[in-house]
Amino acid sequence: MNSIALIAGDAHPPLGRAIARQAGVPLVPVSISAFADGETQVRIEGDVAGADLYIVQPTSAPANERLVTLALVAEAARGAGAQRITALMPYFGYARQDVRKRPGEPRSARLAARILSAAGIDRAIVLELHSGALESAFDMPLVHLQADELMLPAARERQYAIVSPDAGGLKRAQRYAMALGAPLAVVAKTRPAADVAAPLQVLGEVRGRDCLIVDDMASTGRTIAGAAQALAAAGAREVHALFIHAVMAPGALERICAAGVRGIVTTDSVPGAPDARVRVISVVPLFVSALRDSRPTARG
């Protein structure tokens, strides 16, 4: 391959620029605009012919627009002669819709991955999918990054009990508990409707302990808030939260804090306004390392 280049999509331009800068990779300018009816128009304004091209685009809110824009940039790059196209997706939207839970529902995550493949994307590098089983939704080579190395230093700042807010996140919480040599607990719950979670009980000893809730994302904040309330009722001393993707619908942060969560740690995988209540750890070093490892020359 003749060259390596990077395009920062419109979802999180500062993150794309930071990855390019730290990786020492040239940033290709791209124009992304919309017609009066909302139809997206893309134009790559630099030369990508023969390039090993990386497109940075989390498919965060508005997820539909970000997904389509990523596909359009990839299709434009393919038409402009890019030799290989890799999507760097710090956050993959639709990841929560990986299975049919009821008749009549689509497998949205699989469809989203197929759209990217159809657009000409050859590989994807993603961070902390909602479920490891989602890897099978991609019919292209996939690098699934975990944020443990970024987040564990923050988790070591206290002697925490590590808590999964639901059974689905138990494997992630187990990784953290094993790495820290910490006790593990889980909040058992039901989910009567989408984005609504009802905590039932805490399984594990948390009385008198500082607890760290570990999850992949916070969207409405209800899951973490409910877990925090359950932990407080079970006698936890303090409750803190660590999650990778701060999707954060309006009111989510207020809901989490109102539930008694004393400290919040997350990443910049999706864009968000600075807030003194939230500590943000950058994912840039993780993606720079993944980019370098994925280059053909890095494999000798």
Q: Which residues are catalytic?
A: 189
What b-and-e string marks burial along 71-109, b requiring 16 or more CB atoms within 10 Å of the CB? bbbbbbbbebebbbbbbbbbbbbbbbbbeeeeeeeeebb
Specify the DSSP element, H or E, that contains 113: helix 108-118
In angstroms, the CA 289 to CA 113 distance is 23
Q: Is 33 exposed, middle or buried (0-12, 13-18, 19+ CB in 10 A)?
A: exposed
Q: Is 14 exposed, middle or buried (0-12, 13-18, 19+ CB in 10 A)?
A: exposed
Pairing of strands 238-246, 196-203: unpaired
Please report, in angstroms and rounded to a whole number, the separation of the first and last CA atoms in the chain. Answer: 13
